[in-house]
């Protein structure tokens, strides 16, 4: 488990600044330049600066991964959610997996920091509520985009091979129910992962 944790969180930490700065550089290119010939250089500049930051700080981050400031951890969580949102073009079905990772990390964090058992329920609730709120913030624009997009009803009919017309009230119902389900799934997955990780890690690191 210890080796897996090191590799898993090492990959996450190593990607933070290269991905963040590549995204930032391409955003700057889009709003300030838009010359396609210079786009690869902007992307490369972000990557190189990110790798330099990794070269300087990565070992310390990895070694002290369970003592990282909460603000930095939140930044990482939000960054990867933004990247997943962009990669899947606003389709939020995979975001609950981020809650699973958050629960796993914070479960290990409370064990490593020897936080008193009496504080576990409060911490589990706070982390789960945070991931649920992030999922809510993701579902709202995704739902609005889907509802306002032209021809979305026809796309659903064709994709699911439906033999009936998808009406606007049906779209609202699907979007609302789907959003609530995703928020609840994220909350519950985070909670489950954190509780189970604390249980397992407490036995492993106590031995």
User: Can you give the pLDDT at residue 207?
Assistant: 56
User: Can you give the pLDDT at residue 66?
Assistant: 94
User: Can you give the pLDDT at residue 171?
Assistant: 75
pTM: 0.87
Q: Between 74 and 164, whose confidence is greater?
A: 74
pLDDT, the chain, mean: 88
Mean pLDDT of 139-159: 72
pLDDT band at residue 71 using 50, 70 and 90 as cut-offs: very high
- Tokens 């889907």 correspond to what residue? 146
User: Can you give the pLDDT at residue 124?
Assistant: 95
Q: Using alpha carbons, select from 136, 144, 57, 132 the residue that is nearest to residue 102.
A: 132
Q: What is the pLDDT of residues 153-199, one digit of tens each?
A: 666 666 566 666 767 777 788 788 888 999 999 999 999 999 999 99
- What share of the chain has pLDDT > 70, as a percent? 88
Q: Using alpha carbons, select from 1, 198, 193 the residue that is nearest to residue 98.
A: 193
User: Can you give the pLDDT at residue 24?
Assistant: 92
Q: What is the pLDDT of residues 96-117, one digit of tens each?
A: 999 999 999 999 999 999 899 9
71 neighbors 158 (Cβ within 8 angstroms) = no
Q: What is the pLDDT of residues 25-69, one digit of tens each?
A: 999 998 888 888 888 999 999 999 999 999 999 999 999 999 999
Helices (H), 64-207: 70-87, 96-112, 120-148, 152-159, 168-206
Asked if residue 18 has pLDDT above 80, the reply is yes
Structural domain spans, the chain: 1-65, 67-207
User: Can you give the pLDDT at residue 92?
Assistant: 85
Asked if residue 93 has pLDDT above 90, the reply is no
Q: Which residues contact 14 (CB under 8 A, 6 or more apart)?
A: 54, 58
């Amino acid at each position: 488990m210890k080796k897996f944790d090191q590799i898993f969180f090492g990959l996450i930490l190593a990607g933070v600044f290269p991905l963040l700065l590549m995204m930032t550089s391409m955003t700057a290119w889009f709003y300030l330049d838009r010359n396609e010939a210079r786009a690869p250089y902007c992307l490369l500049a972000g990557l190189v600066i990110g790798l330099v930051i990794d070269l300087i700080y990565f070992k310390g981050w990895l070694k002290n991964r369970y003592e990282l400031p909460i603000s930095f951890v939140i930044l990482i969580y939000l960054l990867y959610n933004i990247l997943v949102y962009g990669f899947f073009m606003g389709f939020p079905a995979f975001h609950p997996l981020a809650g699973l990772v958050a629960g796993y990390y914070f479960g290990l964090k409370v064990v490593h920091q020897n936080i008193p058992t009496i504080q576990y329920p409060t911490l589990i609730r706070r982390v789960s509520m945070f991931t649920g709120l992030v999922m809510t913030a993701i579902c709202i624009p995704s739902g609005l985009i889907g509802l306002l997009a032209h021809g979305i009803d026809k796309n659903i009919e064709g994709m699911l091979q439906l033999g009936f017309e998808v009406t606007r009230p049906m779209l609202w119902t699907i979007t609302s129910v789907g959003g609530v389900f995703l928020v609840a799934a994220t909350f519950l997955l985070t909670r489950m992962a954190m509780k189970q990780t604390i249980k397992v890690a407490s036995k492993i690191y106590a031995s």
